[in-house]
Amino acid sequence: MIAQKAGGDSQKRTISSGNAELDSRLGGGIPAGSLVLIEGSSGAGKSVLSQQILKGSLAGGNSATLFTTENTVKSLVSQMASIDLDIFDFLLLGKLRAYPIELSHLGDGATTTLLQAMKHEHTRGRDLLIVDSLTPAIAHTNNMLPVLSFFESSKRLCATGMTIIITIHANAVEGEFINPLRSICDAHLALHTEHDGQRLVKTLEVAKIRGAASVTGAIVGFDVEPGWGMRVIPISKARG
């Protein structure tokens, strides 16, 4: 959902996740036109978080495109429906386009090919674009310049008002290279998992959101439950 703040068109719009508790942790929502990096280990919830924001944006009347390296369209629809994030009608109406992609097969040209596809979707006037995930394009490369260029080009697309969300695995990029990517992005959301006895705890760290309506920097716990979706819980409760 994109909400207009009071004060007219000169004010920033925000993308709502459709989850009030989550929005409050995101400083009121993600400002439209942001380049967002969602970073986390395998199973930490990167896809679920991006899907929650996707559904919220679609429910608010916006159009979106999803490039997925982890699902077919059929499995995506089924998986999202299982956590109460049904997108089937949006696909039928053309408000959502979903493209399975195999970036690992494209070698060093993966980011260039993906960027061309993103620019094509931009010409269609999409409000939100999600890449879930970029990891296959960068996991085995020794040349980070094309990756840096990809993020810079994505930022230029965002300058026109389109919001772009990119998910990556936490260990896909070496430490000396990840910081420049984080700096380019307007928002950085870091997902973590940790073991607390017999329990696996998931947390979301809102590292930064430029232009957020309220203070960010929160670390919150969350669960992903069948038929319920992403549910924010107090960090003390998450850690038992």
- 201 forms beta bridges with 194
Q: Which CATH architecture has domain 2-238?
A: 3-Layer(aba) Sandwich (3.40)
Per-residue confidence in pLDDT tens, the chain, 240 aa: 555 433 334 345 899 999 999 999 998 999 999 999 999 998 899 999 999 999 999 999 999 999 999 899 999 999 999 999 999 999 999 999 999 998 888 777 899 999 999 999 999 999 999 999 999 988 877 788 999 999 999 999 999 999 999 999 988 887 788 999 999 999 999 999 877 667 788 999 999 999 877 766 688 899 888 877 888 887 655 555
- Domain boundaries defined on the chain: 2-238
pTM of the model: 0.91
Of 137, 205, 197, which is closest to residue 169 (Cα–Cα)? 137
- Report the C-alpha gap between 72 and 93 in whole angstroms: 19
